[in-house]
Structure 1
């Protein structure tokens, strides 16, 4: 299934995408409201009803797709997890650790798959990072690599928008990764059963129609299952927690290409869809 949050008639609902249509899952996901986190928590029980639902029906073109999950407890991202990007960072004098490097994106940065992304007044170094995202579906701790596939609810497309000067002010990266609207995700959550091999997908990013990033998820240094095992050693992962799994080489900072007003960034992952966001100046208060 392709699970979404969508707005129609001024009301945000849960749904699924079937071809060019949206099926409203409000009745099938009774008690979940418009919270994808609640739906994912109950997914094992609700799955049959969600799969069987076929109405109410809307045209996909007539609804607004929202961030598929807007209330995760955790939004974590791994740094320098593709070989070429790690080499790119090392050549710029950035230390590349010999273990997984994780940082937080505050959940308040989440925005929709086609929503504008704000260029903050405080920086001129706003950058893009194409990423594939993972959504946890099962509360878990101390998960082995072999067990990890069983705790994944699904996958999505993301852009780890980064304010580079703020990022490097602190070794945690958190501030430079967490400006409002700097976590566009979507367009939907593709459930794990529809992704036979998440490590054999193509990830691309285009800036104003010009391709800037391309890689295969085969090139991850630490694969998704290793990532989940590593994180769950430290913390309990909850349904709805989201992880970004790394970006390929040719981020903007490598060529001093930073986002300008009107720039449009499109990120696509084969089989998972695409998100596309325009960068706009921060409104004057």
Structure 2
């Protein structure tokens, strides 16, 4: 099953994505509101009505899957290939930091970069976990059962702000810089070794597989749940594969007008243009 949050006339609504198109799930403003109902799978499955063909849905109609999650947790240095290119050691525990809802944008929205933070803007394609059931101090088995599904997240990073201190949050949570979507795909839709890629202006720059993760989704959810509970609609970004701009020789960064396409097999693509504004 695939679910999405769409925009219409200044509001948002929830849809199920079928081969025929998008079918509205009435009564739920976004996927987060749907997940808050314990019967969300049944509700989404039985939704009927006119299917809007995907090709007629404008790119700016795709809102962030969860526009206002209670928590956004990110895992750093979690792909073996990325760890190697950054010259780090494989960690014993997940490296965690946070992001705030103001950072989130939709699958086709512009990445809006502040002029004073525009010189070292990097891409990071990530598999993101979306929680479907409240989970606290869970085993990996229970953690896996609490996952509603997965989406695509681009953890666009201002590398100079990120590396000013040992704490990464300043470079990771600029407003209007983190695309997430286009859909939430349940686990059965996503291959265990799904391909994850980033293209910039058509050039393939990241090309990995999600089974290169050091800590997989169930292990991450179980670990975080020992610290604080996770609730329906919470988002966890699981890290990025090799190929980021900062690790290249010479380093490469995004500039105004460039289009960034981040894709995960079985889920879909984010397609965002960099705009320097503000």
Structure-2-length-normalised TM-score: 0.93
- Which of 226, 247, 250 is the aligned partner of 1:254? 247
1:248 is displaced (CA, Å) by 0.7
Q: Does 1:127 align with 2:122?
A: yes
Partners of 1:49 and 1:236 lie apart in 2 by 25
* Structure 1 segments (4+ residues) deviating >4 Å: 94-97
Listed one character per residue, the Cα deviations across residues 50-98 of structure 1 (whole Å, up to 9, x for unaligned) are 21222143222333111111111111111110111111112xxx67643
Unaligned runs of 5+ in 1: none
* SS at 2:115 equivalent: coil
Aligned alpha-carbon RMSD (Å): 1.6
Q: In 2, Cα distance between the equivalents of 1:12 and 1:234? A: 32
Contact 1:89 1:96 in 2 (8 A): no
Match of 2:164 among 148, 156, 169: 169
Worse overlay, 56-65 or 77-86: 56-65
Give the drift of 1:273. Answer: 0.8
The residue aligned with 2:227 is: 234
Answering whether residue 50 of structure 2 is matched by residue 53 of structure 1, we say no
Q: Give the match for residue 139 of structure 1.
A: 134
Q: Cα offset for 1:277? A: 0.5
| Cα deviation 1:15-66 (Å, max 9, x = unaligned) | 111125111111xxx3x3x132221011x42422321222143222333111
Conserved 8 A contact 2:3-2:185: yes
**Contact 1:154-1:191 at 8 Å conserved across structures:** yes
Counterpart of 1:234 in 2: which secondary structure? coil
Deviation at 1:171, TM superposition (A): 1.9
Which stretch has the larger CA shift, 15-24 or 269-278?
15-24
- Cα separation, 1, equivalents of 2:188 and 2:53: 25
Q: How far did residue 116 of structure 1 move? A: 0.2
Q: Identify unmatched segments of 5+ residues in structure 2.
A: none
State the match for 1:83 in structure 2: 80
